[in-house]
Amino acid sequence: MGAFVISRQGHRALDRGLLWVQAVQRLDIQMVPVLEAKARPQFLRGDFEAAAFMAMKEVEVRVRELAGLSNSVIGKTLMTDAFRPPKNANDPNDHGGPLWDPTADPGEAVALMELFKGAFGTFKIPASHCRVDFADPTEAAEVVLLADLLMRLLDKIAAAQNAATSP
């Protein structure tokens, strides 16, 4: 009969349960660097609320940076101002928000704005104002993964902006 020893990490996994182990496996992908550095450690410590909040906060910071908007513009208003379509199609000076893509199908461009607004309205804003209990680690992992997807979309927008401004 062979003996085995359970490591400290193994004991933590046993204590936290199968759902936690599965959620950690769900996050076993290469995320954008800022989420690797800030959200993953929070998640692995079991602080799911902080991990989800930190991930969505980084998306907010990146949108503000790319759009060139002030720190006073926050949440869903930030997303609307950054991604908004032109208010007046007849005004040649109104190109929409800084992250609006005039080459995209207008319905898809509005849907992108709504995706960012919805993500914030659902996952970032409540955590900014009250305690959010992520009893299900899988749900918290999915919020972090959503933030990772949003960051990747922002990377594409940044690349398009850079291509448009380079000679």
What does the pLDDT look like over 63-110, one tens digit per residue? Answer: 999 999 999 998 889 999 999 998 877 777 778 899 999 889 989 999
- Helix or strand run (H / E) with residue 80: helix 75-83
Does 155 map to a domain? Answer: yes
In this prediction, residue 111 has a pLDDT band, given cuts at 50, 70 and 90, of very high
Does 25 map to a domain? Answer: yes
- Range 1-6 average pLDDT: 66
Task: Check residue 85 and give its pLDDT.
Answer: 92
Please tell me the distance from the alpha carbon of residue 78 to that of residue 76, in angstroms, as a whole number. Answer: 5
Q: Which residue has the higher pLDDT, 29 or 38?
A: 38
Task: Check residue 165 and give its pLDDT.
Answer: 77
**How many structural domains comprise the chain?**
1
Domain that holds residue 131: 8-165
CB within 8 Å of 140: residues ≥ 6 apart: 23, 43, 48, 49, 51, 52, 134
For 87, the token pair is: 């208010």
Whole-model pTM over 0.85: no
Cα 119-136-133 angle, rounded to 5 deg? 70
Does 100 map to a domain? Answer: yes
Q: Which residue has the higher pLDDT, 137 or 113?
A: 113
Task: Check residue 45 and give its pLDDT.
Answer: 85
Does 13 map to a domain? Answer: yes
Question: How many other C-beta atoms lie within 10 A of the C-beta of residue 67?
Answer: 20
